[in-house]
With several copies, the nearest count.
Chain A
Amino acid sequence: MARVVVDVMLKPEILDPQGQAVQRALPRLGFAGISDVRQGKRFELEVEGPVDDAALARIREMAETFLANTVIEDFDVKVES
């Protein structure tokens, strides 16, 4: 069985309150040198059968229509090695 990972991140121009809150907290915790933090979602999908082009195309469609809200989010599909 193969694992496909779908990363979903807010588009760069969209406000990311969570990432901002994390970033603002870092210096207080003693972690300097991080100039920006964005927080997104990671989906790990266990795929039955071969992860061929057809399967990847289906997963991409799934990401586009369901896992991500493309009004505000971008996504990225990767096969886990």
Chain B
Amino acid sequence: MTARIGVVTFPGTLDDRDTQRAISIAGAEAVPLWHRDKDLKQVDAVVLPGGFSYGDYLRAGAISRFSPVMGAIVEQANGGMPVLGICNGFQVLCEAHLLPGAMLRNTGLHFVCRDQKLRVETSATAWTADYAAGEEISIPLKNIDGRYTADERTLDELESEGRVVFRYQELNPNGSLRDIAGISNAAGNVVGLMPHPEHAVEPLIGTGRTDGLAFFTSVIKKLVTA
């Protein structure tokens, strides 16, 4: 069986086509989903890609969160379907309360584009099984609203439940609390992170490394063996 992974396009989404390409390279079928779609075309997993949906006006992700497609995604995510939010997608997941916390303007106040080192803190999610816990990877990061924030209780809970999935290494590019780059929900099927694995799947392109490919192979393996 070939896994079918949906990629949502909101108005203003930018990395949808790259994400589709990354999914194909990893060996699954990428299924485009439109923000007005009310059903998910029977996909097995969904990626909310990066970009500036609705221009990031109001707050990043604040308007997209109300799109018709999000209703279906919230429902199926709560039922266990793997969902990955990258950058703007992560912001949408927070706004939609599928993940706790919120994203704020970078402390440096600038857009930051860099090759970012991360530590994969856990392989116990749908999207990180092909990494080893503690593994260091380097993938592009590019955002202006990437400062992950939550109250202390939530942060402690995330830590104790092993739901901090990625942490910035060497440099915290945006002032995220506890160097958090990505988190998951309690069940581990919903993951959000600021850096961009889909830009690190081909040796020649971008940073020239393929450290992001395992996101997609992880979920594909899980879906195919399920």
**Residue of A with least CB distance to B104:** A72
What are 25 pairs between A and B in contact, CB < 8 Å?
A10-B104, A15-B104, A15-B175, A17-B55, A17-B105, A17-B106, A17-B107, A17-B108, A17-B109, A17-B175, A18-B105, A18-B109, A21-B54, A21-B57, A22-B63, A25-B54, A25-B58, A25-B66, A29-B66, A66-B58, A69-B59, A71-B94, A71-B102, A71-B150, A72-B149
Interface residues of A in 17-48 (CB under 8 A from B): 17-18, 21-22, 25, 28-29, 39
Tier of interface size on chain A: 10 to 19
User: Is B95's CB under 8 angstroms from A69's CB?
Assistant: yes
A67 in complex: contacting residue of B54, B58, B95, B106, CB < 8 Å: B58
- Of residues B66, B101, B104, B151, which shows the largest number of chain A Cβ atoms within 10 Å of its Cβ? B104
**Residue of B with least CB distance to A13:** B151
List A contacts of B101 (CB < 8 A).
71
User: Is B66's CB under 8 angstroms from A21's CB?
Assistant: no
List A contacts of B109 (CB < 8 A).
17-18, 21
Total number of B residues with any Cβ neighbor in A under 8 Å: 23
Query: Which B residues are closer than 8 A to A by beta carbons?
Result: 54-55, 57-59, 62-63, 66, 94-95, 100-102, 104-109, 149-151, 175
**Residue of A with least CB distance to B95:** A69
A20 CB, nearest partner CB in chain B, Å: 8
A54 at the interface (CB under 8 A from B): no
List A contacts of B108 (CB < 8 A).
17
- Of residues B58, B94, B106, B149, which shows the largest number of chain A Cβ atoms within 10 Å of its Cβ? B58
User: Is B62's CB under 8 angstroms from A66's CB?
Assistant: yes
User: Is A25's CB under 8 angstroms from B63's CB?
Assistant: yes
CA distance A71 to B107 in the complex (A): 18
